Amino acid sequence: MTERDSWEVDANCRDINVNTFFGTADQQQAATTICQPCPVRNACLDYALTRNMEYGVWGGHTQDQLHTLRRRQQRATRSRRR
């Protein structure tokens, strides 16, 4: 079992078509409602951020929200190095 598998088995989306999480911005926003009560939401978000996942919904965030979050993290990292 891989690291991802260890949390993926508890995912709310485990029996949902993956395309649900890779649609338009509106479709992704709707898909985040599946994530809200997901018990592995934090692990899913960490997975996406550490692996630079560019597309789809991860950890209750649309891909646009993930891009924003990643940019904030990068800015915070850069300012800590100064």
Judged by the rule CB under 6 A, the positions of this chain that interact with ligand SF4 are 11-13, 21, 34-35, 38, 40-41, 44, 57-60
Q: Which is nearer to ligand SF4, 16 or 76 (CB)?
A: 16
Q: How far is the CB of 43 from ligand SF4 (least distance, A)?
A: 8
* 58: three-class secondary structure by DSSP: strand
Q: How far is the CB of 57 from ligand SF4 (least distance, A)?
A: 5
Residues 68 and 74: beta-carbon distance below 8 Å: no
